[in-house]
Amino acid sequence: MEKVVSYRQKKRKQKKQNRELMLTVSIFLLNQEELRKQFWTVKSVSYDKARQKINVGINTTNGKLGTTLTKLKKTSRNLSDYLFEQGLTFRKTKIGFL
């Protein structure tokens, strides 16, 4: 028999996956040496499975956003590899920082 999954269950699962992805991205970025002196937080992470693109929203507290985004973009390839190795994406994805 087919298992009937309610809309609420799908939403809960999606929220859990988004939290896990956000936590993983935050931990990866915290371990990057070039980002140690920047003050930033990850405010949102969205994963578009159809396009294989992850958008990461960043807040800066007292730094320049442009400088922080430039340093973050340099880590995008490594982040894509890391997410693939962790099993959070089923292939290497494009990473965009907003």
Domain membership of residue 64 as a residue range: 7-97
Question: Measured between alpha carbons, how far is residue 91 from residues 35, 53, 83 in Å?
Answer: 26, 10, 9
Count the domains in the chain.
Answer: 1
What is the rounded average pLDDT of the residues 21-29? Answer: 88
Measured distance CA(79)–CA(42) in Å, rounded? 14
- CA separation for the pair 80, 85 (Å, rounded): 9
By CB atoms closer than 10 A (0-12, 13-18, 19+), residue 90 is: exposed
Please check whether residue 45 lies inside any domain of the structure.
yes
Q: What 3-state class would DSSP assign to 14? A: helix
Task: Say which amino acid occupies 50.
Answer: A
On whether residue 1 sits in a domain, the answer given is no
| pLDDT tens for each residue of 30-49 | 888 877 777 788 888 888 88
User: Whole-prediction pTM value?
Assistant: 0.77
Mapped onto helix, strand or coil, the DSSP state of residue 94 is strand
Q: Is residue 2 part of a domain?
A: no
In which band, very low, low, confident or very high, does the pLDDT at 75 lie, cut at 50, 70 and 90? Answer: confident
What pLDDT is recorded for position 63? 67
Please say if the pLDDT value at position 95 is more than 70.
Answer: yes
User: Which CATH number does the domain housing residue 74 bear?
Assistant: 3.30.300.20
